[in-house]
Structure 1
Amino acid sequence: MIKNRWVFEDKYETQILHRHDELQSLSRSLGRTEHGLSANDVLIHGPSGVGKTASARYMLRNLRQQWGLEWSLIECSDQTCNGILHEAITRHRNRTVVHRNQPRADLLEALDDVVSGPYVLMLDEADVIPDLGVLRDLYSIDGISVIAITHSDTEWLSRVDRNIQPRFHGDSQVPFQKYHVDELVDILEPRVEHGLIGQPIDVAQLEWIADETGGVARWAIKSVLAAAKIADERHHDTILDKDIEDSFDRAMQMIRKDNLRSLPVPYLRLYELVRAIGPVDGSEMRAAYDEHQEMIFEGRDRDPVTWRRAWDYLAKMADYDLLEMPGETNSKVYEVIDPELEAPVDFEIDRAVVGDCR
């Protein structure tokens, strides 16, 4: 029943539907580059799975085709400041050979050498950048502009230098909301056409999926894929209602696994700590973090973060539906959503601490 699984992946290139206002806002901010001027900076924010990265990537690709705009997408998960500078250098068409462990001053000199005009850096998952001081480094280079993609605008801006915050206020912010049911059906129909054999699912079923997934495109798209896989497993010729009913949980499992694998190593280790000790209250969680913080950041070339910053890490994982926590969900405890989902990381947890927490 599935002829092209790639159609259901986030990076599949397709027409962006029902994001006219958002694309227009991006176009206004980026349009200056046609005349050799630096783009205005942009802060894109909204929940997971609603087309933030896809829309920005679509716009930037179009502008590269129209007038050769130079841009790079930097996945910020597990990136240090040096790592972001290295990516900015090596992804530019004038790239030169540099190493991540070179002094920052040398990396900035190399970046200045390669940038000769407008250069837009799309910082995906910008809320996981450990040190937003890297923005000051980027803005020290003439021509560089930033599109930052985050979940929460207020939380991210609270970590940004006060002198830089005005770059991301007012018209520079592009919020993304969840889709309406009819909009999401329009998004799903081309995926069905290009990804499945024949027409194994009808419009009423797509409306059901769009409604059940609450306007989140990623969940809806993965649910169509999951329903098709379940139908294949059950040797059905078409997707039955029972297949759809069972698709939502499987789709979320797929998304959680992908989300977890996208996170930096300290996040993965912190997730494993919660998985081992949860459910625990706030004081127990903080005590466990204090006990394990050196191990969580071992080999990461930076000191352990404070509990307040670790709380931000946990909140990011709550946004990804990987765990529940006080303040971010209705939960009063810290615990993972799926105890069977293991992070792809080696991490030895102090079992004595686990015993104390339980």
Structure 2
Amino acid sequence: MIKDRWVFDDAYPTDILHRNEELNSLSRLLKPATAGGRAHDILIHGPSGVGKTATARWMLRDLRKRAAVSSALLECSGQTANGIIHEAVEKYPAGTVVQRNQPRSELVQTLEKIVDEPYIIVLDEADVIPDLDVLEDLLSVDLVSVIAITHSENEWLNRVDRDLRPRFRGDSQIDYRKYHVPELVDILDPRVEHGLIGRPVSTDQLEWIADETGGVARWAIKSVLAAAELAGERGHESIHESDVANSFERAKAKIRKANLRSLPVPYLRLYELVREVGPVDGGEMKRSYLEHQEAIFGDGDRDPVGWRRAWDYLSKMADYDLIEMPGETNSKVYEAVDEKLEAPVEFDLRKPAELD
């Protein structure tokens, strides 16, 4: 029943549907680059799985076909500031080989030397960048502009240097809403056509999937794949209602696992702490974090962060549907959404005295 799994992957190249307003905004802000100038800086924000990265990728691919413009999409999860600048250098077409452990100032100087045309750097998952001073480094280079992709614009901007915040405010922000059911069905149709054999799923079933997944394209796309997997496992010649009904949690579980694996090591250790001590209230969660913060940031090049910054980490994991945490509902507690899902990291929660 499944012809090509790649069709259901996030990076699968496809037409961007029902994002005309967002594409127009991107085109307007990037237009100076088509005339050889520096593009505007952009802040793209919205929930996971609604096409933020896919739209930016498509627009930049189209822009490169029409003008002498370079671009690089940098996945920021797990990256230090040095790592981000290093990758920006290596992904420039006239880039050069540089050592990852080179001093930051030398990496910036190298970037200044090689950039000779508009260079647009996309910082995907910019929420998790530990040191946002890297923005000052990147934007100090002539012709370099930044597209930052985040979940929460306010939390991210609060961490940006005051002098740089105006670059990402007002008309430079693009807010991505969730899709309506008919829009999401339009997005699912070509995936079904190119990814499945025949048409084993009905339009009514696609509408069910679009409605159940709340307008989140990634979840809907993965649910179609999960329904096809279940139908195959059950020997069905087409997708049955029971396959659709059971597809949502299977798809969510796969997305959670992929999201978890994309996070930096301190996030993974913090997740394991939540999984171990939860469910707990905010006071207990804070005490547990402060007790284990040295271990969470051990063996790395980052100093332990305070509770307020750790709360940002937890908020990011809540955006990824990995943990529950206090929000609008005061009765919520900190706990893992799926306590059986383990992070791919070794982390011993015992106190130093207990290890002797």
1:63 equivalenced with 2:63 (yes/no): yes
1:47 equivalenced with 2:47 (yes/no): yes
Gaps of 5+ in 2: none
Amino acid at match of 1:95: G
Deviations 1:12-33 (A, max 9, x none): 0000000000000000011111
Match of 1:90 in 2: 90
Gaps of 5+ in 1: none
Correspondence list, 1:1-358, <5 A: 1-327=1-327, 332-350=332-350
TM-score by length of 1: 0.97
Deviations 1:165-215 (A, max 9, x none): 000111100000000000000000000000000010010100000000000
Aligned residue pair count: 354
Contact 1:294 1:304 survives alignment (8 Å)? yes
Secondary structure at the aligned position of 1:214 is classed as coil
Deviations 1:223-250 (A, max 9, x none): 0000000000100000000100000010
Q: Tell me the C-alpha RMSD between the 2 structures.
A: 1.4
Structure 1 ranges of 4+ moved more than 3 A: 328-331, 351-354
Once the two structures are TM-superposed, the CA of residue 331 in structure 1 deviates from its matched residue by 5.1
Q: For 2:42 and 2:138, how far apart are their aligned partners in 1? A: 14
TM-score by length of 2: 0.97
Secondary structure at the aligned position of 1:246 is classed as helix
Once the two structures are TM-superposed, the CA of residue 147 in structure 1 deviates from its matched residue by 0.2
Amino acid at match of 2:155: E
Once the two structures are TM-superposed, the CA of residue 311 in structure 1 deviates from its matched residue by 0.3
Deviations 1:101-130 (A, max 9, x none): 111111111111111121000000001000
Secondary structure at the aligned position of 1:7 is classed as helix
Identity fraction in percent: 66
Q: For 1:68 and 1:330, how far apart are their aligned partners in 2? A: 53
Once the two structures are TM-superposed, the CA of residue 316 in structure 1 deviates from its matched residue by 0.2
Deviations 1:61-117 (A, max 9, x none): 001111131000000001111011101100001111111211111111111111112
Q: 1:308 to 1:223 in 2, by over 3 A?
A: same
Once the two structures are TM-superposed, the CA of residue 351 in structure 1 deviates from its matched residue by 6.9
Once the two structures are TM-superposed, the CA of residue 327 in structure 1 deviates from its matched residue by 2.2
Secondary structure at the aligned position of 2:162 is classed as coil
Q: 1:10 to 1:329 in 2, by over 3 A?
A: farther
Once the two structures are TM-superposed, the CA of residue 353 in structure 1 deviates from its matched residue by 11
Of the structure 1 ranges 130-139 and 325-334, higher mean CA displacement relative to structure 2 is found in: 325-334
Q: 1:188 to 1:331 in 2, by over 3 A?
A: farther
Contact 1:2 1:229 survives alignment (8 Å)? yes
Q: For 1:210 and 1:341, how far apart are their aligned partners in 2? A: 26
